[in-house]
A and B are shown apart, each in its own frame.
Chain A
Amino acid sequence: MSNITPSQTVGPYFKYGLTPGNDYAWNDAFGNDLVTPNVSGERIRIVGQVFDGEGKVIPDSMLEIWQADAQGRFADPQDTRAMPNAAFKGFGRCGTDAKGGFEFRTIKPGPVPGPGGKPQAPHILLAVFARGMTQQAITRIYFEDEAANAADPILTLVPADRRTTLIAKREQGVTYRFDVHLQGDRETVFFDL
């Protein structure tokens, strides 16, 4: 048994602390708009809803994303490649609304090195927190218009009939849809990290 501090649910009342918006007397540390004036790359929107095992929307969940910039670089000193990313932080947070909905405004990430230095298809890490979740659940958002998906070293570890749960569909213009199903027939693939 390890000695780490166990995870606990965020509970139903995290909003005023973590995603206050304009509703509470507290300021947001993070928002759902990751785009900054100087960032390069294709501007995109990712929209979706979070559902439980009965297909009901979950209004009290929180999503966090972490991603590389358009060149595939992370805003983290551990990404030690040349030309470190400076203009794009790559982290966002969004609480779901009454219809379980969320939205992120960001840029399409570039390819990131995977196992053995092989490039991965563009993807975004997504962590889902909610009342009723003892731990966050981590998944990935891939993009349906990326040919690199077919050879992605992570996506190909996922049973073929479940890969579609990880692929955001381009709806119109710059908008991709990515719904999260915590459980059930359409359950999103979550990763054991």
Chain B
Amino acid sequence: MTLIYPRESNAAHAPRLSPAYKSTVLRSPSKPLVIIPHTLSELTGPVYGHETVRENDNDLTIQHKGEPLGERIIVHGHVHDEDGRGVPNTLLEVWQANACGRYIHVVDQHPAPLDPNFTGAGRAQTDSNGYYRFITIKPGAYPWGNHPNAWRPAHIHFSVFGHSFISRIVTQMYFPGDPLFAYDPIFNSVTDEKARMRMVSSFDLENTKPDWALCYRFDIVLRGRNATPLDND
């Protein structure tokens, strides 16, 4: 079995050393990465889905006794590979700040309220077509220490597996039209504008639920395999 994951797919990613995002300076490899062939170790990957996701894990608004504060939203979309094929039965994990821009994490000391009815963690599995759906609260922007008056644009962290260990990705979903985009070195660490805009969801009026929640669409594209596996080993 020889599958080909094109190496040039990685060109979409940010450089590991992105000095405007200061923490990369001491945490990015300084020596050249070693190019190796893809073996069974890289071409396989964990198959996780239904046994991991509990019913309602994809609804972050019903995990506590009361309703979380903030703007209820639906976030949905497809996970595709770069050849346009849906990635079925794959696990998505999300985590985010609450509506005030505060994470429940103990290290987050931003003086904004915690919400006792919102943890901000969820899971979903794509269906046979690669479709997923979350219900959550729109996260707020929050300050951070990278530079004077640094604020992160509102975002939801996504972790996705896909077909193999090398299609696995952790990314962030942003909201359309955020005025903080131009000032955020994490968002702008992705230097190609088209690639950067693939991290921005689109407002989805058609799937907004009247009198209940706005909807955003976020399609995720993972590294793909060539359509025809070669049987040369």
Contacts and interface: CB of A to CB of B under 8 A. Distances in A.
Contact of A2 (B8, B23, B187): B8
Contact of B198 (A6, A27, A125): A6
A120 B41 contact: yes
Nearest to A184: B30
B94 interface: yes
B44 A78 contact: yes
A12 B142 CA distance: 13
Contacts, number: 259
Contact of A25 (B25, B30, B119): B119
A190 B120 contact: no
B6 interface: yes
Q: Which of A2, A66, A162, A184 has the most CB of B within 10 A?
A: A2
A53 interface: yes
B182 interface: no
A53 B27 contact: yes
Contacts of B164: 78
Contacts of A23: 106
Interface string A152-163: 011001110010
Interface stretch (A36-44, A107-115, A143-151, A169-177): A107-115
A136 interface: yes
A140 B166 CA distance: 13
Contact of B199 (A8, A10, A184, A192): A8
A66 B45 CA distance: 7
A41 B31 CA distance: 36
Contacts of A74: 40-41, 44
Nearest to B233: A117
B206 to A, nearest CB: 22
Nearest to A60: B107
Given A4-B9, A13-B103, A17-B94, A136 B168 contact: yes
A65 to B, nearest CB: 10
A1 interface: yes
A182 B27 contact: yes
Interface in B23-77: 23-31, 33-48, 52, 54, 63-64
A161 B165 CA distance: 27
Given A76-B44, A158-B34, A182-B26, 7 more contacts: A2-B6, A4-B169, A6-B196, A8-B14, A66-B165, A114-B37, A132-B22
Closest A-B pairs by Cβ, 7 of them: A17-B95, A132-B23, A132-B27, A76-B44, A91-B46, A192-B33, A134-B14
15 contacts: A2-B10, A3-B82, A5-B199, A16-B95, A17-B94, A17-B95, A17-B120, A27-B54, A54-B26, A132-B24, A138-B165, A154-B39, A162-B31, A187-B29, A192-B7
Interface of B: 1, 3, 5-16, 18, 21-31, 33-48, 52, 54, 63-64, 82, 91, 93-95, 97, 103-108, 119-121, 123, 157, 159, 163-166, 168-172, 186-187, 189-190, 192, 194-196, 198-199, 220-224, 233
